[in-house]
């Protein structure tokens, strides 16, 4: 059977996400990022293209490492200003029928019972189309926003995340039994108290004594994305993730990490294929190669180099403002608590490839650190097939230059080519987001969260 390619639309709740400066392009609607009409139009385009999900990045920090301030990000509109994506979901769900929503939230900045309630609420309102992109945070800026002096140490963040998920599973899977809600008008009983259980948890990071405030939703646990690719992040993914988001400029830069995640999952008794891997990419299709090249050249005219380096400095924790743009980049600069895998992508992941900051500005300026495919639909379909084969990815989180151009062109030009080749679905499968992606509306029995389905009142 031909392996199907999956697509998510990847974006941030800002004037521009991974293409700093492109909000200013005359065809861009990025300046309208704070209007519902803008987001409803994006969601409708993605659903017309049978995308699995609208995947929205988020974080409460600002990119203020470059030059010691946030000026580069502010000036270019790069992930600042930034609104709360959880506020979008209900409105977009009301305007769509099948599109899923992957929303980013940090285990370092949230509390389990509070976040679990919000995701349960959205699972009800979306009829099972909500997903959580689990991150742990990486910036001192985000830490200061919640009253900490510095970001929690890298591996400790994942220890906290493991415990956060343990508590969340207890709430989602164990607090309410399937038959707890009866809605019996005759007896006046809404729910059976004997089937609703208090969750008690005492741990290193969290002490909880509560009943989950929402009745069971279609998925109970939201579909779980995860975006950490360090060794500790991969261990976390193998235990918890149903889908993993990775990123790198070439298949060789991400393939070893993907293989490691699948091997770790197998060692835990999971089917390695139960984890869907999405890699970052940007596609700029056109009816001819010349048209695609002209379109890309036009887009590059609006790239803001300081904005690109503001993002790169924020992700890595390194102030690149005083670096020689043409000097080789080395791993010796890596910061323990930043996004470790990102700098490795541009240093040691491919020993024969040496990157300079000037090359990174050009590469990352449109769509971020993943590959940028510009060409005919057939050209780009060939590239996607090659990546699936070489890196063992299941799909792509497609970034964009700006809306409406990039996503609309993908839906109108690239999707039909993928469908013609039998590589892409003709229509959505029925059911929840988890059901569409994994074939089951509930967590599989081999998933870590499934163990918490039958908590007793003494749990």
Distances in Å between the Cα of 244 and the Cα atoms of 93, 128, 268, 396 are: 23, 19, 16, 11
- Token digits of residue 388: 């699936």
Q: How many residues does the chain have?
A: 459
Cα 259 from chain centre: 19
| Contact yes or no for 46/99 (Cβ under 8 A) | yes
Give the C-alpha separation, 197 to 209, whole Å. Answer: 11
Counting Cα atoms < 13 Å in the Cβ hemisphere of 209 gives 2
Give the C-alpha separation, 244 to 55, whole Å. Answer: 12
Q: How many CB atoms lie within 10 A of CB 81?
A: 13
pTM listed for this prediction: 0.95
User: What are the tens digits of pLDDT across the range 85-120?
Assistant: 999 999 999 999 999 999 999 999 999 999 999 999
User: What are the tens digits of pLDDT across the range 43-70?
Assistant: 999 999 999 999 999 999 999 999 999 9
Model confidence at 2, in pLDDT bands (50, 70, 90)?
confident
Say whether 230 counts as a known binding-site residue: yes
Model confidence at 440, in pLDDT bands (50, 70, 90)?
very high
| Contact yes or no for 440/242 (Cβ under 8 A) | no
pLDDT at 441 over 90: yes
Average pLDDT over residues 247-251: 94
| Contact yes or no for 53/8 (Cβ under 8 A) | yes
Q: Which residue in the block uniquely carries the two structure tokens 């270019």?
A: 76
Q: What is the pLDDT of residue 459?
A: 43
According to DSSP, the β-strands at 207-210 and 243-246 are unpaired
Model confidence at 365, in pLDDT bands (50, 70, 90)?
very high
Mean pLDDT of the chain: 94
Q: What is the pLDDT of residue 339?
A: 59
User: What are the tens digits of pLDDT across the range 367-417?
Assistant: 999 999 999 999 999 999 999 999 999 999 999 999 999 999 999 999 999
Q: Which residue in the block uniquely carries the two structure tokens 């790239």?
A: 303
Contacts of 360 (CB under 8 A, 6+ apart): 308, 312, 329, 346
User: What are the tens digits of pLDDT across the range 125-178?
Assistant: 999 999 999 999 989 999 999 999 999 999 999 999 999 999 999 999 999 999
Say whether 58 counts as a known binding-site residue: yes
Average pLDDT over residues 421-449: 97
Model confidence at 352, in pLDDT bands (50, 70, 90)?
confident
3-state secondary structure the chain: CCCCCEEEEEEECCCECCCCCHHHCCCCCHHHCCCHHHHHHHHHHHHHCCCCEEEEECCCCCCCCHHHCCHHHHHHCECCCCCCHHHCHHHHHHCCCCCEEEEEEECCCCCHHHHHHHHHHHHHHCCCCEEEEEECCCCHHHHHHCCCCCCCCHHHHHHHHHHHHHHHHHHHHHCECCCCEEEECCCCEEECHHHECCEEEECCCCEEEECCCCCCCCCCCCEEEECCCCHHHHHHHHHHCCEEEECCCCHHHHHHHHHHHHHHHHHCCCCHHHCEEEEEEEEEECCCHHHHHHHHHHHHCCCCHHHHHHHHHHHHCCCHHHCCCCCECCHHHCCCCCCHHHHHHCCCCCCCCCCEHHHHHHHHCCCCCCCEEEECHHHHHHHHHHHHHHHCCCEEEEECCCCCHHHHHHHHHHHHHHHHCCCCCCCCCCCCHHHHHHCCCCCCCCCHHHHHCCCCCCC
Q: Is the dihedral of CA 279, 281, 286, 287 positive or negative?
A: negative
Cα–Cα–Cα angle for 67, 72, 73, rounded to 5 degrees: 120
Q: What is the pLDDT of residue 343?
A: 72
Say whether 33 counts as a known binding-site residue: no
454 or 406: which carries more pLDDT confidence?
406
Say whether 104 counts as a known binding-site residue: yes
Average pLDDT over residues 348-353: 76
Q: What is the pLDDT of residue 455?
A: 57
């Amino acid at each position: 059977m031909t392996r199907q390619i999956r697509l998510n639309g990847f974006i941030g709740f800002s004037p521009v996400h991974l293409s700093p400066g492109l909000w200013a392009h005359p065809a861009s609607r990025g300046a309208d990022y704070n209007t519902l009409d803008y987001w409803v139009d994006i969601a409708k385009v993605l659903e017309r293209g049978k995308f699995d999900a609208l995947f929205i990045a988020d974080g409460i920090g600002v990119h203020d490492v470059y030059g010691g301030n946030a000026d580069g990000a502010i000036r270019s509109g790069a992930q600042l200003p930034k609104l709360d994506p959880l506020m979008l979901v209900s409105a977009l769900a009301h305007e769509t029928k099948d599109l899923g929503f992957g929303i980013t939230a940090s285990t370092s900045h949230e509390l389990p019972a509070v976040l679990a309630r919000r995701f349960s609420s959205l699972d009800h309102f979306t009829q099972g189309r909500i997903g959580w992109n689990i991150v742990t945070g990486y910036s001192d800026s985000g830490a200061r926003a919640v009253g900490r002096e510095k970001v929690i140490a890298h591996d400790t963040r994942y220890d906290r995340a493991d415990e956060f998920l343990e508590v969340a599973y207890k709430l989602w899977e164990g607090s309410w039994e399937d038959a707890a809600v009866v809605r019996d008008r005759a007896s006046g009983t809404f729910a059976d108290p004997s089937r609703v259980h208090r969750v008690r948890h005492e741990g290193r990071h969290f002490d909880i004594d509560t009943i989950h405030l929402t009745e069971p939703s279609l998925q109970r646990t939201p579909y779980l994305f995860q975006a950490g690719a360090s060794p500790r992040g991969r261990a976390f993914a193998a235990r918890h993730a149903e889908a993993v988001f990775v990123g790198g400029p070439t298949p060789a830069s991400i393939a070893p990490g993907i293989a490691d995640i699948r091997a770790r999952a197998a060692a835990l008794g999971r089917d390695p294929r139960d984890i869907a891997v999405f890699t970052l990419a940007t596609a700029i299709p056109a009816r001819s190669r010349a048209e695609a090249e002209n379109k890309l050249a036009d887009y590059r005219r609006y790239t803001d180099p300081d904005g690109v380096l503001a993002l790169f400095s924020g992700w890595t924790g390194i102030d690149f403002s005083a670096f020689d743009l043409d000097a080789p980049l080395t791993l010796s600069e890596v910061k323990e608590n930043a996004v470790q895998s990102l700098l490795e992508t541009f240093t040691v992941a491919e020993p024969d490839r040496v990157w300079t900051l000037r090359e990174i500005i050009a590469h990352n300026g449109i769509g971020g650190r993943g590959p940028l495919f510009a060409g005919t639909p057939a050209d780009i379909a060939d590239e996607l097939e090659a990546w699936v084969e070489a890196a063992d990815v299941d799909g792509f989180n497609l970034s964009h230059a700006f809306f409406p151009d990039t996503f609309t062109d993908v839906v109108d030009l690239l999707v039909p080519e993928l469908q013609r080749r039998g590589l892409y679905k003709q229509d959505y499968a029925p059911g929840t987001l988890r059901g569409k992606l994994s074939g089951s509306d509930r967590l599989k029995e081999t998933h870590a969260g499934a163990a918490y389905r039958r908590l007793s009142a003494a749990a």
